[in-house]
Structure 1
Amino acid sequence: MSKTFASTGDLGEKQITFAKLGEGAYAYTAEGDPNTGIIIGDDGVMVIDTQATPHMAEKVMARIREVTDKPVKYVLLSHYHAVRVLGAAAYEPENIIASRGTYEMIEERGQQDWESELGRFPRLFEGHETIPGLTWPTIVFENKLTVDLGNRKVEIMHVGKGHTQGDTIAWLPEERILYAGDLVEYGATPYTGDAHLTDWPQTLDNLLALKPSKLVPGRGDALDSPEKCEEAIAMTRAFISDLYQNAQSAVREGLDLKGLFDKCKIEMDPKYGDWVIYEHCMPFDVARAFDEAGGMVRPKIWTAERDQEMWGALNS
């Protein structure tokens, strides 16, 4: 395990890609950093996940302005994590959309999560002084919402818990393009610190049932074929299953958190150790898996203090 806390030592610049998936459908990716989706209709633009700060979001806006001068009408939050949502102000959207579960997370743990994530991964919060405050949705939906961007309808759905309680996808049914948020990763380690691990596999089944032909994961390259979409979902499922099965086994055996962490590292490093942010995620992932396997349904709130205590205990 790295002695440097979380990703405080990750300071290298990433190569940005602005991939076109279809007419008016784009993905802003950066070698495993958080992705942003862009959908353009006749009347305006929808941005899916904003980057962590308005300063970082301005880089996305620059790419958007290369392909359209239409206003950003909507920002969609695929879930609540500070690194995904605090850049919203840069887009000056007419509305910000989130699921009920996401809204509840902002209310319950918005400030704590912001402080926690800033401490974990400072590079992703470049220009953090430009953040005006928590990002609050203006439109909150329960299960499904259809947005018309002008001759282009976007289906917004909460198809189940997984990465968080409020995970939300954007779906273009005609093109079968899926913006999956952190429900799906590709070559990047799923972060499960706020996850519902027992629900996640069924939610992935719900995504498979859509039969996407292209997919934008939360992290990793945009995927341009049905086969790659299935591969990414299968990779995510394998990681989640291995993690939780190890946690269930550890609880049965009476292991403590450190015992589970050591067990997971032995069994999972050979399979996933080369994935992006693996060393960053594993302590948080193991902590949540241990809690859920022990019967804690609702994830504990992460604070900057809890982060450091957990990291120290597992690095001792």
Structure 2
Amino acid sequence: MTADPSLSNDGLKVAELIKSGEDQAKAIERAPGVWESRGVGNSYLLTTPEGDVVVNAGTLGDARRGREQFAEVSKNPIRYIILTQSHANQYGGLEVYKTPDNLVVAHKTYPEDRVYSEVLSPHYRRGSGRVFGGITRNLGDITPTKEVAPDLLIGDEGLAFVLGGRRFEVIHTPGGETRSAVIVWLPEEKIAVVGNLFGPLFGNHPNLNTLRGDKPRWALQFIDSIKTLRALKPELVLTGHEEIRGAEHIEREVTRIIDSVQWVHDRTVEGMNAGKDLSTLMREISTPPELTLTEEYGKVAWNVRAIWHEYTGWYDPARGLTELYGVRASSVAPAIAELAGGAERLAERAKAFVAEEKPLEALHLLDVALAAEPGSELARQVKREALTLLLAQTGGKNLWERMSIAAEIRDLDV
């Protein structure tokens, strides 16, 4: 069943961008002296007569390939390596570029980010594996063999320096994917290297709280960081995966992103104050046409949930008092199945929901059926049908959603 192409990562823009470096033979010159090596996270070489600056090392595999590509366009020593955030597709290849003669630069919160990500490494890797396992391929190409600590930690005020006549500014943008996020600004050329400040896709709803379980981003902090970029009036923005050109285009699209996330934030807060429950707000809130962003990575409904949790935490009274305790709803599944006449009867009713094109209602019933009787072939088959219908209804355009559904179907084959 998992051979179904709709369950693969084919056609997903994020997946295509992540894999785009696999066949790259040469560094791409995005502007004079600005070279790009593509990968799970793009790396950039900014050249000067007195030495070069690398922005983001990429994963370990990316760095091994990128170092060779950069060596073909510049024989200068690398003086600085600047990390735009604390994910493995930025720091993973540090050991490839690090020498005693260069400085690794990161925000002062970077070490804290690395500590908690290592403490929770098995948790995060499980979450990432379910979504990205078929995209990033070999884990050994991502995971560094040793930790390389920053040489220079900068404060919230940022850092400015001149190298070989080229001015660099490092600006803190804590609303990025990690608290240590920064952008590298070349003021004289109006070029901003922003990493994954927007997430992997420009013009997409940000993923304020990813399904793999990262620390959530705060909506207003994200907005403030994007405003910081807009105030620079860049003419070229280089993200972790894309290039965005044209001052007017950038300002227009950046403003739309700001206004769209602000809209979702404000409607969520209004709904909370009006006494609406979270599920209702997730269903009801949508952006007006002029503020519509793509939902290939983040989604409006998920950001409603992230904003709700940002302000109120994990407890949702609408889910009942049992949320306060460690006894799961599935603990009563055998009793419910018994009352219904068995797991098969629940599965049959779930199949009727599928026929009515109500896959989520079917999945609720199937959770009970399979908790009561995990080996029920009928329940497993109906769940496969419900998940396939859900994928068709959602369109399969969101990476997290499609690959999560694919993982659920894959689990049924175990």
Question: TM-score higher than 0.5 here?
Answer: yes
Equivalent position of 2:257 in the other structure: 236
1:215 matched to 2:237? The reply is yes
Equivalent position of 2:376 in the other structure: none
Equivalent position of 1:112 in the other structure: 120
Residue pair 1:56, 1:126 contacting (<8 A) in 2 also: no
Residue pair 1:164, 1:196 contacting (<8 A) in 2 also: no
Residue pair 1:186, 1:235 contacting (<8 A) in 2 also: no
Structure 1 Cα separation of the partners of residues 236 and 191 of structure 2: 5
- Which of 85, 91, 105 is 2:97 aligned to? 91
Q: Residue 183 of structure 1 aligns to a residue in which SS?
A: coil
Unpaired segments ≥5 residues, structure 2: 210-215, 315-399, 409-414
Equivalent position of 2:180 in the other structure: 166
1:203 matched to 2:225? The reply is yes
Going from structure 1 to structure 2, the CA distance change for 1:171 and 1:267 (only over 3 Å counts) comes to: closer
1:129 matched to 2:140? The reply is yes
Pairwise mapping of residues 39-54 of structure 1 onto structure 2 (< 5 A)? Answer: 39-51=46-58, 53-54=59-60
Structure 1 Cα separation of the partners of residues 139 and 231 of structure 2: 39
- Which of 37, 41, 64 is 2:44 aligned to? 37
Q: Residue 195 of structure 1 aligns to a residue in which SS?
A: coil
- Offset at 1:178? 0.9
1:191 matched to 2:207? The reply is yes
Pairwise mapping of residues 57-76 of structure 1 onto structure 2 (< 5 A)? Answer: 57-76=63-82
Q: Residue 272 of structure 1 aligns to a residue in which SS?
A: coil
Structure 2 Cα separation of the partners of residues 129 and 160 of structure 1: 29
Q: Residue 79 of structure 1 aligns to a residue in which SS?
A: coil
- Offset at 1:95? 2.5
- Offset at 1:137? 1.9
- Offset at 1:257? 4.7
- Offset at 1:229? 2.1
Q: Residue 198 of structure 1 aligns to a residue in which SS?
A: helix
Residue pair 2:176, 2:225 contacting (<8 A) in 1 also: yes
1:90-141 residue CA offsets vs partner (Å, 9 max, x unmatched): 3235332110123322223344265243443225544322422555322111
Structure 1 Cα separation of the partners of residues 130 and 288 of structure 2: 26
TM-score (norm 2): 0.58
- Offset at 1:183? 2.5
Equivalent position of 2:166 in the other structure: 152
The structure whose residues are more often helix, as a share, is 2
Q: Residue 165 of structure 1 aligns to a residue in which SS?
A: coil
Structure 2 Cα separation of the partners of residues 141 and 151 of structure 1: 22
Q: Residue 140 of structure 1 aligns to a residue in which SS?
A: strand
Q: Residue 46 of structure 1 aligns to a residue in which SS?
A: strand
Moved more, 8-17 or 203-212: 8-17
1:181 matched to 2:191? The reply is no
Residue pair 1:55, 1:126 contacting (<8 A) in 2 also: no
Q: Residue 230 of structure 2 aligns to a residue in which SS?
A: helix
| Aligned residues between the structures | 287
Structure 2 Cα separation of the partners of residues 109 and 253 of structure 1: 37
Q: Residue 262 of structure 1 aligns to a residue in which SS?
A: helix
Equivalent position of 2:32 in the other structure: 23
Going from structure 1 to structure 2, the CA distance change for 1:284 and 1:70 (only over 3 Å counts) comes to: farther
Residue pair 2:60, 2:93 contacting (<8 A) in 1 also: yes
Going from structure 1 to structure 2, the CA distance change for 1:83 and 1:22 (only over 3 Å counts) comes to: closer
Going from structure 1 to structure 2, the CA distance change for 1:262 and 1:228 (only over 3 Å counts) comes to: same
- Which of 304, 307, 324 is 1:289 aligned to? 307
Structure 1 Cα separation of the partners of residues 70 and 29 of structure 2: 11
Q: Percent identity?
A: 19
Going from structure 1 to structure 2, the CA distance change for 1:214 and 1:79 (only over 3 Å counts) comes to: same
Going from structure 1 to structure 2, the CA distance change for 1:34 and 1:148 (only over 3 Å counts) comes to: same
Pairwise mapping of residues 237-276 of structure 1 onto structure 2 (< 5 A)? Answer: 237-264=258-285, 271-273=292-294, 275-276=295-296
Going from structure 1 to structure 2, the CA distance change for 1:72 and 1:235 (only over 3 Å counts) comes to: farther
- Offset at 1:171? 0.8
Equivalent position of 1:227 in the other structure: 248
Unpaired segments ≥5 residues, structure 1: 297-306
- Offset at 1:15? 3.8
Aligned partner letter, 1:231: R
Going from structure 1 to structure 2, the CA distance change for 1:272 and 1:203 (only over 3 Å counts) comes to: closer
- Offset at 1:258? 4.2
Structure 2 Cα separation of the partners of residues 77 and 96 of structure 1: 8
Structure 1 Cα separation of the partners of residues 167 and 128 of structure 2: 34
Structure 1 Cα separation of the partners of residues 190 and 226 of structure 2: 16
- Offset at 1:71? 3.3
TM-score (norm 1): 0.74
Residue pair 2:205, 2:261 contacting (<8 A) in 1 also: no
Aligned partner letter, 1:146: A
Residue pair 2:108, 2:154 contacting (<8 A) in 1 also: yes
Equivalent position of 1:277 in the other structure: 297
1:56 matched to 2:67? The reply is no
Moved more, 98-107 or 88-97: 88-97
Equivalent position of 2:323 in the other structure: none
Moved more, 243-252 or 191-200: 243-252
- Offset at 1:23? 1.8
